[in-house]
């Protein structure tokens, strides 16, 4: 049985959008049901709900099962076939857009690696099923479909980064660290913890510590303190804020703790730092 919905996607607005849904659907395949070899005119991702089958693209061939998925890239010949005894059921989403190639790359998919596995939860399945069941003609229907498509791509990208980072490429490992640094730069004024940062990037705390120190040559806590102290120096130098206000502005609710930490890092109390800067700015230019 096929459940399928198609959407118009040939307007100029659709072609020039960042991401646009072309069509989506689901199917319980008959034994040996196949498609191709042929080409598609949009990106098309199938996600296997049950059963087994085979996917081929160029010289790449792979047997796939429940929780696996495969990507068809526009204008490239591909072929897929359901298993003769355990035919698969799958759902799919076809899309295009200016940012589609970038999102596909972030998801770790390419002509050389057009398959993935998503087994950590049911969110991907539920997302694409919501796409299939949504009514594009309902009030706000297009907005709902676009938001679900972005969620679908986010889940694929997040899935590509999360599993087994210990064995991932150096680029993927560095991506975790960059993501953590960005998070700390955005949230240093708040009461954040290193455990919270590790949770944000989706890593075990101890592994996150090891990875962060490898790429920055300092621990996450050392980096956060350094970041806060540098921001404190800027505030002491360029504003008339009191030490208490500076303290709270860089994430320390206790001014005494802030002053103690500042002295340890900078060798002077915040008050003395500001006084020295006023009397001799060049002495602190380091």
24 phi/psi in degrees, rounded to 5: -155, 165
Question: Considering Cα of 85, then 30, then 7, then 78, what sign does the dihedral take?
Answer: positive
CB neighbour list of residue 164: distance below 8 Å, 6 or more residues apart: none
- Integer Cα distance of 177 and 220 in angstroms: 10
pLDDT of residue 9: 47
pLDDT in tens, 14-57: 567 888 888 888 899 999 999 989 999 899 999 999 999 999 99
C-alpha distance from residue 187 to each of 20, 209, 227, 283 (Å): 33, 18, 11, 30
Name the CATH topology of 222-284.
Arc Repressor Mutant, subunit A (1.10.10)
> What's the average model confidence in pLDDT over 223-230?
94
Residue 57: CB atoms within 10 A of its CB come to 22
Residue 274: CB atoms within 10 A of its CB come to 20
> What's the average model confidence in pLDDT over 78-99?
93
Domains 165-217 and 222-284 share a fold: yes
Q: Where are the domains of the chain?
A: 2-161, 165-217, 222-284
pLDDT of residue 179: 86
Q: What class, spelled out in words, does domain 2-161 have in CATH? A: mainly beta
> What's the average model confidence in pLDDT over 82-86?
95
Lowest mean pLDDT among 5-14, 89-98, 131-140, 258-267: 5-14
Q: What class, spelled out in words, does domain 165-217 have in CATH? A: mainly alpha
Total-model pTM: 0.57
pLDDT of residue 281: 55
């Amino acid at each position: 049985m096929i459940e399928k919905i198609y959407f118009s996607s040939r307007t100029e607005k659709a072609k020039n959008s960042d991401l646009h849904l072309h069509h989506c659907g689901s199917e319980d395949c008959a034994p040996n049901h196949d498609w191709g070899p042929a080409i598609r005119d949009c990106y098309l991702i199938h996600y296997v709900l049950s059963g087994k089958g085979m996917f081929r693209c160029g010289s790449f061939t792979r047997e796939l099962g429940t929780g696996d998925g495969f990507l068809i890239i526009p204008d490239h010949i591909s072929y897929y076939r359901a298993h003769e005894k355990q035919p698969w059921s799958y759902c799919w989403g076809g899309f295009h857009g200016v940012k589609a190639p970038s999102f596909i790359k972030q998801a770790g998919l390419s002509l050389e690696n057009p398959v993935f596995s998503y087994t950590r939860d049911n969110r991907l399945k539920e997302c694409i099923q919501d796409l299939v069941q949504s009514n594009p003609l309902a009030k706000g229907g297009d907005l709902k479909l676009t938001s679900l498509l972005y969620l679908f791509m986010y889940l694929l990208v997040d899935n590509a980064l999360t599993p087994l980072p210990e064995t991932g490429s150096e680029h993927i490992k560095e991506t975790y660290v960059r993501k953590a640094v960005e998070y700390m730069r955005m949230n240093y004024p708040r009461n954040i913890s290193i455990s919270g940062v590790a949770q944000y990037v989706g890593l075990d705390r101890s592994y996150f510590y090891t990875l962060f120190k490898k790429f920055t040559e300092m621990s996450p806590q050392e980096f956060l303190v350094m970041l806060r102290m540098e921001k404190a120096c800027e505030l002491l130098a360029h504003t008339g804020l009191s030490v208490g206000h500076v303290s709270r502005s860089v994430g320390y609710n206790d001014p005494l703790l802030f002053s103690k930490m500042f002295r340890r890092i900078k060798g002077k109390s915040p008050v003395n730092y500001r006084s020295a800067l006023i009397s001799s700015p060049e002495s602190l230019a380091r």
